[in-house]
Amino acid sequence: MRFGLSREQPSERGTNPSTDDLIGQRELMAVAFFLLVVKGADSTTTFLLSFGGNAGWLSVFVYFAYMLPFLWLVTRTLAAREGLNLIALSEETFGVPATKAMMSILLVLGFAATILNMRPYAFLLEVMFYAKTPATVIYVLLIATSGYLAYLGLETIGRVASLLLPYALLSFGLLFLGVYDILDYDEIFPFFGRGWPLLTGPLAHLGIVVDMLYLAVFLDRVKGGTRTYWNGMLSGSGIAAVSAAVLLWMYVTAFGYPAASGTLYPFQQLTRLAHFGWYINHVEAAFLGIWVLASVVHFAVYIYTIVYLFQYVVGAGDFFRLIVPTLGILFVAGFYPYRSFILQYTYRAWVVYALTATVFPFVIALAVAVRYRFRRSRGHRRAD
Amino acid sequence: MRSKNPIIEHRDDLVRSLRQKKASQPRTPIPKRLQAITAELEKRLKLTESSDFRRRALTYGRRPAAVFYFHGIADEELVEHGVIEPLSRPTSGRKLDPLSDRRLHALTVEALTALEDVENALVDGQPVLAIDGFRRVYAFHLDQFPVRPIDRVSNESVLKGPQEGFTEQLETNMALLRRYLRSPDLVIRRRQLGRLKRTGVAVAYLKSVANPNLVADIEKRLDAVEALEYDAVASVEQFLEERPYSLLPSMLTTERPDRAAAHLLEGHVVIIQDNMPYAYIAPATYWNLFHSSEDHYQRLPYSWFMRFIRTVAFFLTLLTPGVYIAATNYHVEMIPIDLLMAISGSRETVPFPAVLEVFLMEFSFELIREASVRIPSQIGPTIGIVGALILGQAAVQANIISPIMVIVVAITGLASFTQPDLSFNLALRISRFFFLFAGATLGFLGIALLLAAALAYLVSFKSFGVGFFTPWAPYVPSSHDVFLRRPLPAETTMPKTALPQAETKVDKSRYFALFPRLGARRAAKGRRP
């Protein structure tokens, strides 16, 4: 006999902030932060540095500047029909079949992006820290832990993220303190690196940060609606952009430009250099801890999004029953064949192009359609 | 409209069926003749077999009567001088009734009409008066169970603050709550649970503060327990909690009435039970378990310091063995070379792997701790000698463990004692073995992954619908009495943790009067155009 309230079912208490399964601005900000900041500490740095050369750290701000209008567009579009999420709004505007088709594409690309992101993490851990442990074991553990967070829901992911955010920022601060004496500040010049590619590169690879728009799918789970979404995303991605830029700046100033670009795992390499006095050094394992925590939150959001889209596309009733099949697919698909690390980057580049080519036009089309519809209905009212 | 939780519906069904059962249950009327009453009671309560049963024959007016009670649980002196002696005095009235009898006016008398009620009254320690020709039996509230007097607390002792604790008697505990909270708002609702044991359980709350839904939720759970008709409800905590297999407690257990009263003021519900010198407080968050009542009796800087120590101790308890194993097995490079040489030097002659060493020592420490609780107090010091001498010094000399391991285990053990809540302390002690396993299997990666999973579990854990990390995650308005706290007069906001009805504790605009410097600044600000 159980007396407790089951998690899936609402309790009788209506106004309880703990049971309504919504996230607030803090949680959304933290989720956005972990979604984006990890990109400054994984293999994505190779992409970022390739656009701007030694000014790669500036490319983060360029990304941020490019994404802001889209973020604003999504917010404004969703604000036209407050209370609806991206899927519901799309259904209302384009109809169910078109929305399902679009979400299927987003689901496939989301799956591909998750797999292509997750497997390198397992390799990173194997190469840098656990040479004797099979990457498969690490991969399974990473999937299982992130999957567990996703299983507990968006509320839990948001809360974990909000609790970890100060520690993540503190660890960045500590990392800077640990390496500040070995940084060569002259390395950041020429300030704009390669010049134009700094602006054009991110434009073609906007898909790297498309996660920000993916979060609009859960807008109905955000307390305060579009206003909270805008504030949370803006602050979260803003802090993430500054943090990622500082990290990239540290890679360039610590290793020098060509070396930073060619370094496979610059964050881990940088943590190896960190030292506090001459006695406390080689503290990369301590930074590994917070990096793993951040990665788990990062992938938990990915998995939650995939399951959410999966549920919508297949029309499944129970969200949580799809978790295990999704994790199974992620595990099996993680063994995709590859011949070299370079090919992994090629696959990732394809997914990024595909995301750029689908998500942004979809957002623009949705914004135009909603605007047109909204204006027309307003016009009709006026005519009446 | 939100659908109702099926479990709540199930509970409602249970309560409904109990009410129907109670309504349809036949109640035995009291026989008219005294002889029949005595025979019936003897049959039902097996009085001929119980040597502590007393029967005193007397006459009531002209009618034969008898007083029944159990020796030891009724106040025999009062029975003698308050009931039997006055009733033996002649009276002038022609039509007598104990309820209006002037000789019994000083006593609380209750008329019982069913034999089942008479049974219950007798086992509750109340003497009953049966009169020939009356279809009613009269119970006197003269129960006096032997109980321990109010004593010093044993598990939650403080250096500064009240020293008294709850006792095993429910009525005394209710009185203690009333003493600390002299408010007409304090509601204490009593009931009995367990078909055979009939344990008294009381639910206390402040009517104007506590969330009525929370109170109703707890009451409904208790209704469900009652409806299921268990023979005995030994610990009501385990019947009320939502997740019986969880390491985390759903309720805060305290033996301090001042602590229970402080939580009542913030909208929590206190549940006290007979035969248990504790109060259960619902809902309980991490912060409730982390705080000690002394935190508020000590001055602010001392309280901050104590909380800081406790926080460090929390992580030391949880992570020290795991981190030691992870660092020595997987991340050797992070240990300074001198320390590394010292550790490897001390481990040179030890034949076991470090993880086995830690496990052995931690297990031995738990053995000592368990033994020290069970051991008779006269031979208690033996445990200290055995622990320190044999497990410490002798094991090191026999090269079974390294000296550094003694330090690791001692730090872990010492740190675990700082946690004020017994349940949470146990949860931490058990959890550290999981972290030890994670550290031994995958080093810091294992610890970080387990930490992520544990954190996710912690923030998703709910006690009576309230998040375990409230007011941090989810963030809700609070008096900022979480990791640190504000000066007591500045704790102006009513914490929203227990979702109270009341909004604020005090008028914020006035509390500056207590801080001369702040008050002057505020006054100056107000004077500005």
Could you give the ipTM of this predicted complex? 0.90
Note the helical H segments in B191-282.
212-227, 236-240, 257-265
| Spatial distance between the Cα atoms of A374 and A380, rounded to a whole number of angstroms | 10
Q: Which residue has the higher pLDDT, B509 or B27?
A: B27
**B287 part of a folded domain:** no
Is the same domain home to B486 and B454?
no
Chain B: closest CA distance from residue A264 (Å) = 20
Indicate whether B27 belongs to any domain.
Answer: no
What is the token pair recorded at B359? 């496990």
B305 and B449, same domain (yes or no): yes
Euclidean distance between CA atoms B400 and B245, whole angstroms:
36
A340 at interface of B, judged by CB pairs closer than 8 A:
no
B7/A155 touch (CB, cutoff 8 Å), yes or no: no
Q: For residue B19, is it within any domain?
A: no
Question: Residue range B311-316: average pLDDT?
Answer: 95
Interface test mutation site (partner A, options B449, B457, B468, B469, max chain A beta carbons within 10 A): B449
Among the candidates B223, B254, B282, a domain finishes at B282
- The total of other beta-carbon atoms located within 10 Å of residue A166's CB is 10
Residue of B nearest to A154 (CA): B460
Task: Count structural domains, chain B.
Answer: 4
Choose among B214, B444, B452: nearest Cβ to A296.
B452
In terms of domains, do B426 and B472 share one?
no
Contact criterion met (CB < 8 Å) for A155 and B460: yes
Flag if A292 and B448 touch (Cβ within 8 Å): yes
Examine the domain organization and report whether B483 and B436 are in the same domain: no
* pLDDT of amino acid B1: 42
- Asked if B445 lies within 8 A of A130 by C-beta distance, the reply is yes
Asked, for residue B293, whether it belongs to a domain, the answer is no
pLDDT at B59: 86
Domain boundary at B140, B162, B188, which? B140
- Supply the pTM of this predicted model: 0.89
B64 Cβ neighbours under 8 A, 6+ residues apart: B34, B57, B131, B132
Q: How far apart are CA B358 and CA B405, in angstroms?
A: 7
Residues B402 and B450 in one domain: yes
Show the tokens assigned to B336: 């300074």
What's the pLDDT score for residue B11?
77
- pLDDT cut 70: percent of chain B above it: 94
The larger pLDDT score, comparing residue B306 to residue B92, is at B306
* Nearest-CB residue to A17 (from B225, B443, B476): B476
- Of the listed ranges A119-133, A166-180, A351-365, B372-386, the least confidently predicted one is B372-386
Where residue A41 falls among pLDDT bands split at 50, 70, 90?
confident
| B294 belongs to a structural domain | no
The first and second tokens of residue A238, run together, are: 């803003």
Q: Hey, what domains does chain A have and what are their CATH numbers?
A: 25-374 (1.10.4160.10)
Are B264 and B388 within one domain? Answer: no
Domain limit, last residue, from B94, B118, B140: B140
CA distances from A204 to A27, A48, A51, B145 (A): 30, 12, 10, 83
Highest mean pLDDT among A292-301, A351-360, B85-94, B206-215: A292-301
Residue B375 and residue B383 in contact, taking contact as beta carbons nearer than 8 Å? yes
C-alpha to C-alpha distance for B175 and B170, rounded to whole angstroms: 9
Residues B456 and B508 in one domain: no
Task: Identify which of A16, A279, A281 has the shortest CB distance to residue B465.
Answer: A16
Residue B107, in any domain of the structure = yes
Q: Could you tell me if A130 lies within 8 Å of chain B, comparing CB atoms? A: yes
**Does residue B177 sit in the same domain as residue B247?**
yes
Burial of B503 (0-12, 13-18, 19+ CB in 10 A): exposed
**Could you tell me if B358 and B338 lie in one domain?**
yes
CA closest to B283 among chain A residues: A18
Question: Which of A2, A129, A148 is facing B456, going by the closest CB pair?
Answer: A148
Partners of residue A284 in chain B, C-beta under 8 Å:
333-334
Residue B12 in any domain: the answer is no
Residues spanned by the domain of B60:
34-140
Contacts 24+ apart (CB under 8 A), A176-185: A176/A246, A176/A250, A177/A276, A178/A271, A178/A273, A178/A274, A178/A275, A178/A276, A178/A283, A179/A250, A179/A254, A179/A270, A179/A273, A179/A274, A179/A275, A182/A254, A182/A273, A183/A250, A183/A253, A183/A254, A184/A253, A184/A254, A184/A256, A185/A253
- The span from the first CA to the last CA of chain B, in angstroms, equals 52
- Indicate the pairing of strand B199-206 with strand B137-140: unpaired
Main-chain dihedrals φ then ψ at residue A154, nearest 5 degrees: -65, -35
Answer whether B448 sits within 8 Å of A160, measured CB to CB: no
Q: Flag whether residue A369 sits within 8 Å of chain B, measured between CB atoms.
A: no
Residue B186 lies in a domain: yes
User: A132 — contact with chain B (CB < 8 Å)?
Assistant: no
Say what the pLDDT of residue A384 is. 45
Q: Are residues B393 and B323 in the same domain?
A: yes
The 8 Å CB, 24+ separation contacts for B394-401 are: B395/B361, B399/B349, B399/B350, B399/B351, B400/B350, B400/B352, B400/B360, B401/B350, B401/B352, B401/B357, B401/B360, B401/B361
Query: Residue B422: how many CB atoms within 10 A of its CB?
Result: 16
Confidence of residue A16 (pLDDT cuts 50, 70, 90): very low
Instruction: Work out the average pLDDT over A25-34.
Output: 94
Residues B177, B65 within the same domain: no
Same domain, B513 and B446: no
Cβ atoms of B462 and A16 within 8 Å: the answer is no
A317 has a chain B CB within 8 A of its CB: no
Q: Which of A15, A16, A269, A297 to mutate to test the interface with B (most CBs of B within 10 A)?
A: A16
Question: What's the distance, CA A322 to chain centroid?
Answer: 21
- Interface A-B, measured as beta-carbon pairs within 8 A, has a size of 170
**Residue A40 and residue A50: Cα distance in Å, rounded?**
13
Determine the average pLDDT of the residues in A221-239: 91
